[in-house]
Structure 1
Amino acid sequence: MTADIKRFAEENRLSGAVRHGGVLYLAGQVADDATLDTEGQTADILRQIDALLAEAGTDKSRLLSVQIFLTDINESVAMNRAWDAWLDPRHKPARATVEARLVDPAWRVEITAIAAC
C-alpha cells in the first residue's frame, strides 16, 4: 500500500523527494545554473533543498543526514562558505563530503539529504 508514501517534484526517472513514515528522503540535487562556481552551485542547491523541505512540510532544522558530492575535494572551502551561510548552527545534521565524478561534467556539487517531517 502506497497511501503512506508521498512523492514530490516528480520527474521522468525520479522524485525530487519522497516522504514515508515521518521521514523525507531527498534525491541528489544539482544546480539549476551549472555555469556557477562551486560556492554558487552549492547556494543554488541549498535554495532548492529549502523549497523541497517546505513543500513536504519541514525545514532545514529537521535535517538528519546530508551527503555532499564534490567533483574536486579541493573545492570544499568554497562549498563550505555557502553551507556555513545557510546552516542553522543550532540544528546541524550529520554530514559526509566526498569527491565523486558526477553525471554532467558541468556540475561541481550534488547534495542529498534525509529529514524528519
Structure 2
Amino acid sequence: MSIDRYQTSARMSKIVVHNQTVYLCGQVAEDRSADITHQTQTMLAKVDELLQSVGSSREKMLSATVYLKSMEDFAAMNAVWDAWVPEGYAPARACVEAAMASPELKVEISVTAAL
C-alpha cells in the first residue's frame, strides 16, 4: 500500500495520494481581507496548483466541500465556482455554513480528485 504525502508539516500534508486518489487539505484565500469573490478566486487557483502538481486537474475532481462563513455569500461564491468548474465535470459537492479558523476568512474548500 503506497501513501504519498506532499508539502507535509507536523500538523498536516497539503496533498495526500493513495490508490490513484488525491486528497487536498482545506484551501483558503491568499488575501484574507478580500471580498468573497476574490477569496473564492484565489482559493480555487490554489486548488488548481495543488492538483496540477501531482498530475491531476479540476476535470478529475470527485468531490468538494465548501465552507462559507455566511450563507449570504452563497450566490457570489457560486458565480465564481460555476465559471471555474469545466462544463460537464462538476464534482459531487456540499456547501455548509461554518465557523472559520480565522475570523477574516469567508470561504474554504476541501477537494478529492482522481489522478
Same structural fold, with TM-score higher than 0.5 when normalized by the shorter chain: yes
1:92 is aligned to 90
Identity %: 39
1:73 alignment counterpart: 71
User: How far did 1:13 drift?
Assistant: 1.3
| Contact 1:8–1:52 (Cα < 8 Å) also in 2 | no
| C-alpha distance in 2 between matches for 1:21 and 1:44 | 28
- d(CA) in 2 for partners of 1:30 and 1:103? 10
Structure 1 residue runs of 5 or longer lacking an equivalent are none
Matching residue of 1:28: 26
1:51 is paired with a residue whose SS is helix
State the TM-score, normalized to the length of structure 1.
0.94
Flag structure 2 segments of 5+ consecutive residues without an equivalent: none
CA offsets 1:8-63 (integer angstroms, 9 cap, x no match)? 22234111110011000111111121011111111101000000000111100000
The Cα RMSD (Å) is 1.0
SS in 2 for 1:32: coil
Aligned match of 1:48 in 46, 59, 63? 46
Amino acid at match of 1:93: P
Aligned residues: 115
SS in 1 for 2:26: strand
**Bigger mean CA deviation after superposition, 63-72 or 31-40:** 31-40
